[in-house]
Amino acid sequence: MANVIVIGAQWGDEGKGKITDLLSRSADVVVRSQGGVNAGHTVVVQGQTFKLHLIPSGILYPNTDCIIGSGTVIDPQVLLQEIEQLKALGVSVDKLFISQTAHVTMPYHRMIDRAAEERRGEYKIGTTGRGIGPTYADKSERTGIRVLDLMDVEHLRKQLEWTINYKNVILEKIYNLPSLDPNTVITEYLEYAEQLRPFVIDSALKIYEAVRERKNILFEGAQGTLLDLDHGTYPYVTSSNPIAGGACVGAGVGPTMIDRVIGVAKAYTTRVGEGPFPTESTGEVGKLLCDRGAEFGTTTGRRRRCGWFDAVIGRYAVRINGIDCLAITKLDVLDELEEIKVCVAYQIDGQIRHHFPTNASHFAHCEPMYKTLPGWQQSISHCRSLEDLPKQALDYLKFLAELMEVPIAIVSVGPSRDQTIIVEDPIHGPKRALLDADGTPVTIT
């Protein structure tokens, strides 16, 4: 039995969807613990692509319970669309469950999100405009609507009549937007409520019972460490806590119930939206990484900014999350490169820094210090074990493991489920070091 958190070790978009899909085959329960439709996971199975925003990747396994936890924010319209799309593709949603205490994204959240971002002008954050921040803001302000509120017609009507009239003042007076009709919104959301009612449960209790029954539980993260509200590159962050500690809060479990934390990182680095990005390449390398890696957002379709692997933020992610093993994704994207750079430290005002600076203005002025390694210049998409990899690719992985000071458990060499090298199954496998091609443990001290 193992309870495992899968977390993004960069700025999100690391390929967590594929990793959680792989690990879900060994999991009895998969829990999505935070974020909303601003997140997106893409999974490719037998040539068929599944784009998931709210529903955990484990839904592709018919015997796996999939729980949308209380720390998420749910847009009912998008969730219902996702359910219908899965059904149309022949995927059962009979094992899908929704926390009754998850908060609900309303029309005024989306309107305020887009209007506020536009008002920021050159100071924009780069939000998706899906209403995530305002939903979490209402949650903190204690004026939010929860899933359980949708289930009570009279209570919902009273709550929304007051809330919508209050939000209309903001929409009209601050953003010069048209007001919302309370009756129209209430009618719309009551229809959503009836469709979602069969899925709604006390999710924290269900998860606790699964722990008591010694089931394998996978906690699926959204976004990434550097987007964490408290520990990310603030203010260019998301509105929740996509770190390992946030998974406990959002799922409703204690930290003593967690056995392992696996961090997911690309073999290079990407970022969506605004904010500093020390290793970003705006030249030919960045274009190659974007094109070969198909670096466009699952949710927004925006082109991702691309650059070399940054071990400074990688070590920071290991520290903040307690990561004990890594999954490296999209290694195959580097196939054509003659040389590959890795950022091993920063230089700030002439001083060398090996640790991530939490001061945003300092981080904006970081200059990356690189170590250059030889590329392998051949396709690795067919590789299914470490011994299949070219020496240069294996050396690159060893170097990343040494810099991050944790072993590598999984290596992805293509988008499909089968294009994966599993060095160790983080759920069933023992903790051990990254193995060399001949089966000898590699020392990473």
Tokens of 225: 């460490």
At 43, give phi and psi (nearest 5°).
-125, 130
Phi, psi of 74 (to 5 degrees): -115, 125
Say what the alpha-carbon torsion angle 432, 410, 8, 105 is, to the nearest 10 degrees.
Answer: -120
155 is catalytic: no
Helix/strand/coil percentages in the chain, nearest 5 = 40, 20, 40
269-271/305-307 β-pairing: antiparallel
Amino acid at 17: G
Residues ≥6 apart with Cβ < 8 Å to 349:
365
Q: Where are the beta strands (DSSP E) in 100-240?
A: 103-104, 200-201, 217-220
Bridge partner list, 309: 342
Q: How far is CA 53 from CA 62, 126, 383, 436, in A?
A: 19, 18, 30, 37
What's the N-to-C CA distance of the chain in angstroms?
29
Instruction: Decide if 76 contacts 194 (C-beta within 8 A).
Output: no
Q: How far apart are CA 49 and CA 247, in angstroms?
A: 26
In whole angstroms, what is the distance from residue 270 CA to residue 278 CA? 11
Positive or negative, the Cα torsion across 253, 322, 16, 421?
negative
The alpha-carbon radius of gyration of the chain (Å, integer) is 22
Q: Is 231 a catalytic residue?
A: no
Tokens of 247: 């998974």
- Residue of 28, 41, 65, 113 marked catalytic: 41
Name the helix (H) or strand (E) containing 163. Answer: helix 153-169
Joined tokens for residue 262: 């696996």
Burial (CB < 10 A; 0-12, 13-18, 19+), residue 125, is middle
Q: Which of 13, 21, 65, 332 is flagged as catalytic?
A: 13
Residues known to be catalytic: 13, 41
